[in-house]
Copies of this chain bind each other. A is one copy, B any other.
Amino acid sequence: MSEPFLIVGGDAAGMSAASKARRAAPDREIIVLERGDWVSYGACGLPYYVKGEIESLEDLVAVPPERFIEERDIDLRMGHEGIAIDTDARTVTVRSDEETYEQSYGDLLIATGARALEPPIDGLDLEGVFTLHSMDAGAEIKACVESEDLDRVAVIGGGYVGIEMAEAFDAHGLDVTVFEMLPQVLATFGESVGEAVGDHLREQGVDVRLSTRVERLAGDGAIEAVETDDGTVPVDAALVGAGVVPNAELAEQAGIELGETGAIATDEYGRTNVEDVYAAGDVAEMTHTVTGKPDHVPLALTANRAGRAIGQTVTGTETPVGEIAGTAVVKAFDLAAARTGITDEAEARKAGFDPVSVTINAPSRAHYYPGGDKLELTMVADRETEQVLGASIVGRDGVAKRIDTVATALHEGMTVEEVEYLDLAYAPPFSPTWDPVLTTAKVLNGKLE
C-alpha cells in the first residue's frame, strides 16, 4: 500500500483535497492535520454571524468533522499542528497537546491558509482589538458587540473584510469609523467602485477616513483610541482588517520555494518545487489568467478548486488547478461591488499592457421597470490586442453575477468587440435590452477604434 496522503490544514483546500482523494481512492490512507477546533468552515460568513444574520457558528460549517471521519473515512486529527517538514525523509513533525511525533507521507499537501496581517503599529495586543481570521475570533467579536458598554468601534483597513465588518457593527447601532491609508476603500476594485462605496458608507452614517495612517492604538489594558496622522479618535473596540499573509513559514523552513508574493510557488497542478509536495488555498500562488503570471488572491473558490484538483492528481488523475481571474464581489450595506481581472489603467500598465478604459453608468433593468438602479461599470482593455483585461461593477441591483460574464471573457481572452457581440439575457425586470456589460464594451470599443 502507498504511503499516506498527508494534508496540513483542514479548511477549504485541505478538506476538498481529502474528500476528492477519498472518492477516487477508497483504500488510500488520508490524514488531515488541523491545529484548530474547526474544519471546513466558511470564514466568509463571519461578518454576517457578527451582524446577527446567521445564528450560530455551526451554521458556517459545510461538513462537520464527524462526517469526514465516519462517512468519508478520513483520519482527521484536530488539535494537531504540522511544525516541520523533512522533505528528504518524507515526514512531517506533528505536535498536539499530548505528543510530538513524525508522520510519514507519500504525498503532502500544504494547505495552511493565511492569517490576518498585523500592521506595524503599537497596541494590537490591547483588549478590544480584533482580527477576523478564525471562527474563535468571530465568536469573540460577536460577544464583544453584544456587550452593553460598546459605543464606538474602529475598522482599520477599508478592504472587503473592513467593509463587511463596518456593516456588521453598524447593524448593532455602533458608531463606526473606517480608517484607510489609501485615498479610497476597496483599492483592488478600482477607483470608481472605491468612490461609490465610500460615499455609500457615509450615507449610512459610517465615518470614513481616507488617506489616513493609523499610528498607534492607545489604551491602558483595553483600547481607548486610534491615533492617526490626522488626529485621535476615541473608540471602545477595533477590528484590524489590513489584509492577509500566507502561512508559508512551515514550507519555507523546509526549503520549499516561495514566489514573489510570499505565498508558495506552484505549477499548474499545484506542485511545489519539491517532489510530491503540493500547496493550495490561501497559502499558495496561482496563475492569473490575464497576466499569465503567478499571483496571490486568497479566496474560497480558488482554495476549494485547487484542493479538489490535487486530491485527483495524487490519486492518479492529473488535474490542473485552474487559473484565477481575481474575481470577487462584496456587499456593502445596500450596494454590491464586483471586480474581475485588472480594474484600472495603472494596474494594467504595471502588468505590461497599453491600457484604455471607460467608466459608464447604465440601468440595471429596463428604464421603465420599477426597482432597478443605476450601475457604474468600468472596463479595461489592451490597446494593441483589444483584449478585455478586467472590469468592475458597483450598484444596488444585479451586480454580483454580471461580473461573471466578464470573468468568463477573461478566461477566454476575448476582445472588447467579442464581448460587445454577446447574446445576453434580456427581459424588462432583469436588464435593459443592451445589458450594461454590453453597453460598456460598446463604449470601450468606440474608444479603441
Interface residues in chain A, defined as those with a beta carbon under 8 Å from any beta carbon in chain B: 12, 42, 44-45, 48, 53-54, 59-60, 62, 160, 289, 299-302, 304-305, 320, 322-331, 336, 338, 340, 366-370, 398, 400-405, 407-409, 411-412, 414, 418, 421-431, 433-435, 437-438
Chain B residue, CB-CB nearest to A413: B412
Q: Is the CB of B44 within 8 A of A426?
A: yes
Q: Which residues of B contact A336 (CB under 8 A)?
A: 429-430
List 13 A–B pairs whose Cβ atoms lie within 8 Å, in order of A's numbering.
Answer: A301-B433, A301-B435, A304-B433, A320-B421, A327-B424, A398-B401, A401-B404, A401-B405, A401-B425, A404-B404, A404-B405, A405-B407, A412-B414
Q: Which of B53, B338, B424, B433 contacts A12 (CB 8 A)?
A: B433
Oligomeric state, in number of copies?
2
Q: Which residues of B contact A434 (CB under 8 A)?
A: 301, 304-305
Nearest Cβ distance between residue A343 and chain B, in whole angstroms? Answer: 13
With A331-B430, A401-B398, A409-B408 as given contacts, are A423 and B44 in contact (CB-CB < 8 Å)? no
Among A320, A338, A407, A414, find the residue whose CB has the most chain B CB atoms closer than 10 A: A407
With A408-B405, A411-B418, A412-B412 as given contacts, are A427 and B327 in contact (CB-CB < 8 Å)? no
Q: Which residues of B contact A409 (CB under 8 A)?
A: 408
Q: Which residues of B contact A427 (CB under 8 A)?
A: 44, 160, 328-331, 400
Q: Which residues of B contact A53 (CB under 8 A)?
A: 369-370
Chain B residue, CB-CB nearest to A55: B368
- Having A45-B368, A400-B429, one finds 6 other A-B pairs with CB under 8 Å, namely A300-B433, A323-B423, A327-B425, A331-B429, A336-B429, A411-B418
Q: Is the CB of A340 within 8 A of B45?
A: no
Q: Which residues of B contact A366 (CB under 8 A)?
A: 42, 44-45
Among A305, A370, A409, A418, find the residue whose CB has the most chain B CB atoms closer than 10 A: A305
Q: Which residues of B contact A422 (CB under 8 A)?
A: 325, 404, 407-408, 411
Among A301, A421, A427, A431, find the residue whose CB has the most chain B CB atoms closer than 10 A: A427
Chain B residue, CB-CB nearest to A160: B427
Q: Is the CB of B423 within 8 A of A324?
A: yes
Smallest CB-CB A-B distances: 5 pairs: A400-B430, A322-B421, A329-B425, A325-B423, A401-B401
With A368-B42, A369-B53 as given contacts, are A340 and B423 in contact (CB-CB < 8 Å)? yes
Nearest Cβ distance between residue A335 and chain B, in whole angstroms? Answer: 11
Q: Which residues of B contact A59 (CB under 8 A)?
A: 368
Chain B residue, CB-CB nearest to A54: B368
Cα-based distance from A328 to B431 in the complex (angstroms): 11
Cα-based distance from A222 to B272 in the complex (angstroms): 79
Among A320, A329, A370, find the residue whose CB has the most chain B CB atoms closer than 10 A: A329
Chain B residue, CB-CB nearest to A414: B412
With A368-B60, A408-B408 as given contacts, are A400 and B425 in contact (CB-CB < 8 Å)? yes
Q: Which residues of B contact A322 (CB under 8 A)?
A: 421, 423
Cα-based distance from A369 to B47 in the complex (angstroms): 11
Q: Is the CB of B289 within 8 A of A423?
A: yes
Q: Is the CB of A326 within 8 A of B425?
A: no
Nearest Cβ distance between residue A108 and chain B, in whole angstroms? Answer: 24
Cα-based distance from A369 to B331 in the complex (angstroms): 12
Cα-based distance from A326 to B408 in the complex (angstroms): 18
Q: Is the CB of A430 within 8 A of B369?
A: no
Q: Which of B54, B404, B411 contacts A425 (CB 8 A)?
A: B404
